Amino acid sequence: MTTPFPCTQCGACCRRAKEFLASCAENNIDVGYDYPINPDGSCGHLIRVKRSDGQPGWGCEIYATRPEICRIEKQKPDGLSDADYLQSNISACNSLQELDNMPPLYRILLDS
């Protein structure tokens, strides 16, 4: 994928690490990494950060060395265009934010 994912540091995906990893295990995806999971089901590497706009956000304490499954750009299936893959991930991200009743400032908006 040539366009980087425009993460807004909401943490919605990382707070669902236990569910996500169960799905990965069922599909034999990136099963060789020992992911630390907090009692609430969130990733053990999830940390509070301040976003560039001064708002609170979430980050990863091992971002530079995070596992392959955490690198959205590397998970694009063959045969899917970059644009379709990006839009699919943005829709999923925004849906998770809505489920968490997160403020709209975390939504990913792309110029049309």
Nearest to 83 by CA among 112, 41, 58, 61: 112
Domain boundaries, the chain: 14-106
The model's pLDDT over 10-28, given as tens digits with 9 standing for 90+, comes to 999 999 999 888 887 787 7
- Please give the pLDDT value at position 2: 67
Whether the predicted model's global pTM rises above the 0.75 cut: yes
112 has pLDDT over 60: no
Q: At a CB cut-off of 8 Å and minimum separation 6, what does 67 contact?
A: 30, 33, 35
Mean pLDDT of 96-107: 93
Distances in Å between the Cα of 61 and the Cα atoms of 30, 45, 69, 88, 101 are 19, 5, 16, 26, 25
- Can you tell me the distance from the alpha carbon of 35 to that of 13, in angstroms, rounded to the nearest whole number? 14
**Does position 86 have pLDDT exceeding 70, yes or no?**
yes
For 39, the token pair is: 């009692």
Closest to 48 in 3D by CA, of 4, 81, 10, 88: 10
